[in-house]
Structure 1
Amino acid sequence: MEKLAYTLRLCTPADLDRLLVLIGKHAEFEKAHYSPEGKKEQLHAALFTEPVFLTCVIAEVDRVVIGYATYTFDYSTWDAAKFIYLDCLYIEDEYRSYGIGKHLMDWVKKTGEENDCVNMQWQTPDFNERAIQFYKRLGGIGKDKVRFTLPLNLRF
């Protein structure tokens, strides 16, 4: 496979339209319901308004956003310590296997280390075998659990 020139950087407000497209593709890939309605404003607030709740790292090729990773900080009761949570990692299919995913993971990992996090956590659907193998190669340790969602607000 030939080398691919790409850059990683923090998301800016100008990236939101393209980010919404990628989020839609990510949701479709994970067989999840997704509606972009109202999301641009909500993401803008979460990413760029104090207090910042979400951070997004963009991967781009030739100034086109082709992937992203988002993360938050949370607290572990069991560890009695802060951890970094990788909420989403997505790269368009034709740009996979170039090392972009590893570099996005490294960015989030380094951020966690710089912020004294005890660990980095994330999840992927059990049918996403490619991602599971990727995460295992990086040293990730899977835990068998069932994730539940309880809707709290009908506006979504």
Structure 2
Amino acid sequence: MRPVSGWRVLFVALGLVLIVLCACGSESACGPGAGVVSRVVDGDTLVLQSGERVRYLLVDTPESTGGKHECFGSEARDFNRSLVEGRNVRLEYGEACTDRYGRLLAYVSVDGREVNALLAREGYACVYYVAPAGGSRRSEFEALESSARRAGRGLWGACSAVPCSR
């Protein structure tokens, strides 16, 4: 039987440390990497069971709260609710962690589908870019909005005046 070299022990130990770190890596520098959605605020904001408020990156849905009910706001809120409320979601952060209201800024995924992109693709949202948050994916979301607009999907076909248009 050959003796185990010190290098081999070191590499095995480092490998085990990396496995443990990856298993615990649901946190990022910005916040949690996952969580259960306790409630949907509106079409582009949710609250996790842990209390964090999350604002979806790169999308803006018509308002449906605070006495302000814009065209297609209720539909956007209901669509968002149908996708995430009570569900475990994954959060991926962009170039900025929070907005001026202290909400986490994230791409939100459920069952392998990114909700932010679905909102834009299906016409529930307009692109909303505030530098630097989302800069790396801005053109992708602008293309999704453009496609929904051309097809008259969602708010683009239902609203005479699109509430979030520029």
Is TM more than 0.5 here?
A: no
TM-score of the aligned structures, taking structure 1 as reference length: 0.30
Q: Which has the higher contact order (CA 8 A, sep 6+)?
A: 2
Larger of the two Rg values belongs to structure: 2
TM-score of the aligned structures, taking structure 2 as reference length: 0.29
